[in-house]
Chains A and B, each alone.
Chain A
Amino acid sequence: SAILEAVGLAALTTDPQWGSDEGFLEGQQRNGIVAVHPGGTADIQKVEMARRIGIGRATRHAAGKVA
């Protein structure tokens, strides 16, 4: 939304005249809804990190084994 505030609707169009160069900002806006969960929801990764660090647990959660 910061980019939308700064640039307005020009950030959402791929129009060669009114959009950013080669639709860069439009791509960023579109990809933004995908980037929040790279390779799996980031939240699950955080949960796993906490468990393996042993936060709030007596025993650290062991990492998985490579098959």
Chain B
Amino acid sequence: MDLSLNEHQRMLEQSVRGFMERRAPRDKIVALQRSEVGYEAETWKTIAELGWLAMLIPERYGGGGASLTDAAVLYQELGRGPLPGPFFSSGVLSALTLLEAGSEEQRRRFLPAIASGDQIFAAAITEPARSWGPQGIALTAERHGDRYRLNGVKLFVNDAVAATHLIVAVRTGPALDDTGLLVVDKRAQGVSARPLTGFLGWQAEVSFHNVEIGAEGLLGERENHGWTALARAMERALPILCAYQVGSCQAVFEMSVQYSQTRIQFGVPIGRFQRVQDHIIRLVNHLDAARWTTWEAIWKLDSGRPAAASVHMAKAVTAEAHIEACNAAHEVHAGIGSSLEYGLVPHTQASRTLFNYLGDPKWHKRQMAATLEW
């Protein structure tokens, strides 16, 4: 198992790191926490021009046709910010969902716009008081001739406020897999996205009131197996999300080591105290667990090996590791770490927000066990 980066990937890593230092230093990341959409138009445009939104889209649809490893290198560096914004929602999760579920015509219609950044997609899956999984999809798409009508709510939709389009998971029948994926223009009459306030990043309530969508908006023109297609997309998307979180863990590790070397208390750097060292080593253990489970999953996917179990494991481990790494960093930093301006809190907020995103650790562990037939 060779997890080393090739020359192109190392150059990409340095390029993204330089971009982050110039365009998204710590004070910019802190300022973005107050933004309703989580990104600046200029940064979005630059990232689109660099081709970073298009990495996982095949060239025939205007994309870069890059590997998952390439994309993971990018997102690991973005996670060091952590740079907020609908980059993952649009360029990774939605793009991969369109590739898995969409017809050729739908791919040609939507993917170039995602690649260019002209359209921003977000996936609306979870609902109030419903669990994660196909059984949690209750929002019904009522068929009326050649149109569907939506009435209901999707909750905790990542990047919905920034999005121009939504991929909405809907129920089309009573059987478990009677689920479809509808592309909804957010400007359509009856669609509204309301940002949710709190210690979470860019989540929204999306309401649908008598929203009418033409049948051509149903991905793959299929009224079933929508969750199955989404699951296939998530198998490739989740490790990229994990890479983002690994980058965040790496950043809080570096912050903690630096602070332990410069903060003087009782006449010595606090890193001299064994208890402070314990916190940093705990952080390292979680960082390494997240890093290596994530990169193993990516290696398996890129080399065409069965990867489902590894993906579930990576997601579960990384979600827990991200929270624990940030907790350990706060133990090291004490009061200064709680200040928004210091730059640790954006990582902590991300760790909490992403814990349940696309399935919580317990769900993924159950899926891993099921995949391994335990």
Contacts and interface: CB of A to CB of B under 8 A. Distances in A.
Interface residues of B, number: 35
A66 to B, nearest CB: 19
A5 B196 contact: no
Given A4-B352, A18-B128, A33-B330, A43 B196 contact: no
Interface string B197-222: 11110010100000000000000000
Contacts of B348: 33
Q: What does DSSP make chain A's interface, helix, strand, loop or mixed?
A: helix
Contacts of A13: 196-200, 203
Interface stretch (B3-11, B28-36, B354-362): B354-362
B331 A36 contact: yes
Interface size class of A (residues with CB under 8 A): 20 to 34
Contacts of B197: 13-15
Given A4-B352, A12-B352, A43 B331 contact: yes
A8 B360 contact: yes
Interface in B285-336: 320, 323, 326-327, 330-331, 334-335
Contact of A33 (B155, B198, B273, B345): B345
Given A4-B355, A33-B327, A44-B265, A23 B362 contact: no
A12 B156 CA distance: 11
A37 B339 CA distance: 14
A12 B200 contact: yes
A41 B156 contact: no
Interface string B253-290: 00000000000011000000101100100000000000
A33 B338 contact: yes
A40 B345 CA distance: 19
B196 A15 contact: yes
Contacts, number: 80
A14 B198 contact: yes
A23 B198 contact: yes
Interface in A30-47: 30, 33-34, 36-37, 40-41, 43-44, 46-47
A36 B348 CA distance: 14
B337 interface: yes
A47 B275 contact: yes
A26 B334 contact: no
Given A13-B203, A41-B331, 20 more contacts: A9-B353, A9-B356, A12-B198, A12-B200, A12-B352, A13-B199, A13-B200, A14-B197, A17-B205, A18-B196, A18-B205, A19-B198, A33-B337, A33-B345, A34-B338, A36-B327, A43-B276, A44-B266, A44-B273, A47-B275
Give 9 closest A-B pairs by Cβ, nearest first: A43-B275, A13-B198, A12-B200, A37-B334, A14-B198, A9-B156, A26-B198, A13-B196, A30-B199
20 contacts: A5-B362, A8-B360, A9-B200, A12-B199, A13-B197, A13-B198, A14-B197, A18-B155, A18-B205, A26-B199, A33-B326, A33-B330, A33-B348, A34-B338, A36-B327, A37-B330, A37-B334, A43-B331, A44-B265, A47-B273
Interface of B: 128, 155-156, 196-200, 203, 205, 265-266, 273, 275-276, 279, 320, 323, 326-327, 330-331, 334-335, 337-338, 345, 348, 352-353, 355-356, 360-362
